[in-house]
Amino acid sequence: MSRLALSDTLPGLMPSTEDLHALEPARAGAVELGREIALWPLEALRGADPVLGLAVLMIIALLAGEAVRRATGLPRALGAMLVGALASPLALSLVTPLELDRWKPLLDLAVGLLVFELGTRIRPRWLRDNPWLAVKSLAEALLAGLAVALALGALGASPSAAALAGAVAMAGSPVIVMAVVGELRPRGQVTERLLVMTAVNTVCAVLALSLWQIAVTLDADGFEWLPVLAGVLYALCGACLLGTCAGLLLERLSRQIRGTGLATLQLALVVIAAMLAAQFTVSPLLSLLVAGMVARARMGHRLQVEPQLGSGGAALTLLLLLTLGLLSTLDGLLGLWPLVAAIIGARLLAKVGTVLLLARPSGLGWRQALGLGLALQPASGLTVLLTSATLGWPAALPAPEAAPMQALLIALTLLQLSGPVWLQLGLRVVARESDARPD
């Protein structure tokens, strides 16, 4: 899974060390404040081995999660991400994104497990039984992408940058959705639809990104349809094939295994599938999603997937949320805010609008549709970046324009950090889906 390292493969999308240095004065105020309050522990953490530092941060994130839950009633995931954001170069600079590389395999595993779990929650037959739901899922993703691309285009971004932003903006965040749904355990129609639509829009984003990459590569030599189509088909079929094999293998092997062994087996297969996906340059995300779906369809109730695969998985999820916070970037927000607002606004309008428009034919009430639209807002760069990384980023490719890309990253940061709030608002407050189990 080392091939998934995003900072290596997507130089344009991650803030480089030079950028961070350039921002030194802007951050100085915050850092000064931090030093005054607690000079020694912060310095100690900064100087510490990043693994040790991150482990300490995990404990703080855990406590912060509880504090957030008690004080505001919001999901614990929010606390973990905020601790990450606070420790990031945004504020205290305790850990820099580059130092996260040592944790990379664990983070990939955490994403893999959550995506696999999302797969096990999806029954593809539903999209056949309710064709309007299929239409709604596709339309929501495509229109959100289109709206963001058009909005950025109108504000002067190049077509290529606008298209890339559109492709990324299609996707929801399987990570945040699964982490928060695992915590809130809401039951009902909106939650079920949120899971399906998150899977569909993530797949759409994966395909759109591979399409974009191929199209941009070919642009120089004149556009040809055949290679574009072949590339997308390869990404789709390869991932489906790999996922199906992994799901079938899980089913076959699980017959010999009882009890907790099943969770270990799932873990190992998730790692293998992700590694192979990287090997064959197909999307690991799509592969794991398919693997989860196939395993559920074949195994039924024998597939006991505990949320986040039990306590070990929960620790991985916490680490992942912390990392999402650490990767936050708001650099240049003051200058880029019109672009950022355009991305968030266009995405919000497109997603909520589509869900509301197709609410009745697909069998949803107005209030539920509004809740679903809001719950679809969380976005995550990480998941999509992981995907595109495995397709490889040709070195010859010119980096996308800096301004729209930075605006996209800021928008993703905001939609990511606010993710748990959107989900709580959409699922609990508006759609009123809750779990009556005692906390």
Partner 1 sequence: MPLQDFATSEPLTLGVELELQLISTHDQDLVPQAEDLLRETARHTGAWDIKPEIARSMIEIGSSIQREHAPLLAELRDMRDQLVHASRRLNIAIAGGGTHAYQHWSEQQIYPGERFHYLSDLYGYLAKQFTVFGQHVHVGCADGDRALWLLHALSRYVPHFIALAASSPFVQGQDTGFDSARLNSVFAFPLSGRAPFVRSWEEFGAYFDKMAGTGVVKSMKDFYWDIRPKPEYGTIELRVCDTPLTVEKAAALACYLQAICRHLLEERPFEPAEDDYLVYTYNRFQACRFGLAGEIVDPQTKARVRLRDDIVRTLAKVDAHAVDLKSWEACQEIRDSLGEGNDATWLRRQHQRNRQQGEAPLSEVVEAAARRWRGAA
Six token digits for residue 302: 């024998």
CB under 8 A: which stretch of 75-83, 118-126, 263-271, 372-380 binds partner 1?
Answer: 118-126
Q: Shortest gap between Cβ of 376 and partner 1 (angstroms)?
A: 17
Residue with tokens 């739901």: 133
CB under 8 A: which stretch of 20-28, 268-276, 300-308, 376-384 binds partner 1?
Answer: 300-308
Number of Cβ within a 10 Å radius of residue 224:
12
Q: Shortest gap between Cβ of 250 and partner 1 (angstroms)?
A: 16
130 is a contact residue toward partner 1 (CB under 8 A): yes
Number of Cβ within a 10 Å radius of residue 229:
12
306 is a contact residue toward partner 1 (CB under 8 A): no
Q: Shortest gap between Cβ of 112 and partner 1 (angstroms)?
A: 20
Q: Which is nearer to partner 1, 189 or 244 (CB)?
A: 189
35 is a contact residue toward partner 1 (CB under 8 A): no
439 is a contact residue toward partner 1 (CB under 8 A): no
Q: Which amino acid is at 43?
A: E
307 is a contact residue toward partner 1 (CB under 8 A): no
Among 8, 19, 99, 192, binds partner 1 (CB under 8 A): 192
Q: How far apart are CA 174 and CA 380, in angstroms?
A: 8
Nearest alpha-carbon partner for 80 in 213, 201, 212, 179 = 179
123 is a contact residue toward partner 1 (CB under 8 A): yes
76 is a contact residue toward partner 1 (CB under 8 A): no
Q: Which amino acid is at 387?
A: T
Six token digits for residue 383: 């998941």
Residue by residue, what is the 3-state secondary structure of 140-189?
A: HHHHHHHHHHHHHHHCCCCHHHHHHHHHHHHCCCHHHHHHHHHHHCCCCH
- The footprint of partner 1 on residues 356-375 (CB under 8 A) is 362-365, 368
Among 25, 47, 73, 438, binds partner 1 (CB under 8 A): 438
Q: How far apart are CA 272 and CA 137, in angstroms?
A: 30
Q: How far apart are CA 384 and CA 382, in angstroms?
A: 6
129 is a contact residue toward partner 1 (CB under 8 A): yes
Find the helix packing angle between 159-170 and 131-154, rounded to 10°: 150
Map residue 388 onto helix, strand or coil.
helix
Q: Shortest gap between Cβ of 178 and partner 1 (angstroms)?
A: 14
Residue numbers at the binding site for partner 1 (CB under 8 A): 121, 123, 126, 129-130, 133, 187-189, 192, 258, 300-302, 362-365, 368, 433-438
